[in-house]
Amino acid sequence: MTTHYLVLSGLLFAIGAFGVLIRRNAIVVFMCVELMLNACNLAFVTFSRQVGNLEGQIIAFFVMVVAAAEVVVGLAIIVTIFRTRRSASVDDANLLKY
């Protein structure tokens, strides 16, 4: 079963990464990042059961906490940017370049 869970985890991670790369709406990009984090959590939980050790779950727990903090700050940034530029597109914020 472990293999199945891990492949599912990898699949979700790859989908999330693909989403990050092709979506322009910053909020959706954020969602994709969350999906990647969740995929990792699944792998942690799976390995935790595989090796009979609770620490994998503890790490998944911390990942969730950090993800929550990250979402709070990230969404605040998106709101701020949207307020000044009237746009949530990550491509529109491209002034920092050559």
Tell which positions 30-49 bind other proteins, by CB under 8 A: 30-32, 34-35, 38, 41-42, 45-46, 48-49
CB of 84 to other proteins, least distance (A): 6
Smallest separation (angstroms) from other proteins to the CB of 26: 9
Chain mean position to CA 41: 10
CA 69 to CA 34: how far, in whole Å? 12
Confirm if 66 and 38 have CB atoms less than 8 A apart: no
- Hey, which residues between 44 and 83 contact other proteins (CB under 8 A)? 45-46, 48-55, 57-58, 60-62, 64-73, 75-80, 82-83
Q: Are 12 and 39 in contact (CB under 8 A)?
A: yes
- State which of positions 1-20 bind other proteins (CB under 8 A): 1-8, 10-20
CB of 78 to other proteins, least distance (A): 6
| Nearest Cα to Cα of residue 4 among 38, 35, 46, 37 | 46
